[in-house]
Amino acid sequence: MFRSADLKLCCIFLLLVLGVLANLFNLVVMLVQQWRSGGVKTVALIICFISLGNILLQISTFVLSVSVWVGVLCWSDLPLFFCVVLFVWLSSSSVSFWCVAWLSVLYCVRVMSFSSVLLRAMKENISSILNVTLVATLLTSYVTFTPFFYLHFQNETLLTNMTEECDIKKPLFPAWLNVNIYVIVFISYLTLIPLMIMLPTSLRLVVYLCKHTSSMQKNHQSGSHAAESYLLVCRLTVALVWVYLVTLLTISLYYFHAIFASGLSADMLFLGLSFYCVASAILLTCSNKNLREKVRVLFSWGKKTLSRSVEDKSGVTERL
């Protein structure tokens, strides 16, 4: 009979398979596009960063879930590999969150029209600005979470499970680090600041596209396909904002509750991040024209292969 922990681990593994396949598809398609174009396209570069970050995030999430399931937190010493996985887990999630925010900024700046000279100059050079920003985001994400390499166990136990004879210990930062200040800083960097960037730019983009679509429909312009495309982008953007908002609020709630209260179970955090990786990959695939076309080609090829196999089997049956 499966326990609840076993079922949660199976759900995380299922999301791992789905998320890795979806993000790997996006990553490969964007890398091929970059190679064929012979240059650096900012949209493809951001999607590559998001996809790679999601893959590392899901793998590290599953490894953390398995580590907790086998009882790593009950060992006498905290192993170094657990600290390394924690570092990869947090840094990859940070890269993914920030890149989603930068993608929203890129779409918003490219679509909107500005009267200010400064904003027009930023719009013309937005690709170069974001290319440099992506490198800075990658470096700061790794630097921010280096203190997790110094985690160790405290002497006191957090929870005692008498049925399994396991003393679950709470990892502790070194004494030279102010835990409350550091956690507030890294939570702000990980969730709050990207949310403050992503939310207004996405909503501004949605409002602009909705107004533009409404004016096209009122003027009866010949562009129903364009209007449908704008509405599709609006729906996908709202869905991505919802997934983004729920995920970041879940992370913030978990860490702040861990500081100022007794702490919450990490299972919901693991499931939430796994769901984010799958949902964001699917939404990115639907919102990008090149990725949508590759999905159509893949499905059409699968249908042709299936129909051929059915015809071959029917031919063999008729001969018999």
Q: What is the pLDDT of residue 135?
A: 92
Distances (CA, A) of 52 to 24, 199, 259: 8, 23, 30
Determine the Cα–Cα distance for residues 60 and 269; give it in Å rounded to an integer.
Answer: 13
Q: What is the pLDDT of residue 161?
A: 45
Provide the 8-state DSSP code for 149: G
Angle (nearest 5°) at CA 204 between 202 and 205: 65
Determine the Cα–Cα distance for residues 27 and 314; give it in Å rounded to an integer.
Answer: 39
Please state the rounded mean pLDDT for residues 25-40: 86
State yes or no: pLDDT of 304 exceeds 70: no
Segment 111-116 long-range contacts (CB within 8 Å, at least 24 positions apart):
111/205, 111/208, 111/209, 112/204, 112/205, 112/208
Type of residue numbered 305: T
Please state the rounded mean pLDDT for residues 253-265: 62
What dihedral do alpha carbons 46, 50, 53, 58 form, nearest 10°? -170
State yes or no: pLDDT of 106 exceeds 70: yes
State yes or no: pLDDT of 159 exceeds 70: no
On whether the CB atoms of residues 102 and 134 are closer than 8 A, the answer is yes
What dihedral do alpha carbons 231, 232, 233, 235 form, nearest 10°? 90
Give the helix/strand (H/E) hosting 222.
none
How much is the pTM?
A: 0.83
Determine the Cα–Cα distance for residues 223 and 229; give it in Å rounded to an integer.
Answer: 10
Q: Give me the phi and psi of 219, to 5 degrees please.
A: -85, 0
Confidence of residue 160 (pLDDT cuts 50, 70, 90): very low
Q: What residue ranges in the chain does DSSP mark as E strands?
A: 152-161, 166-172
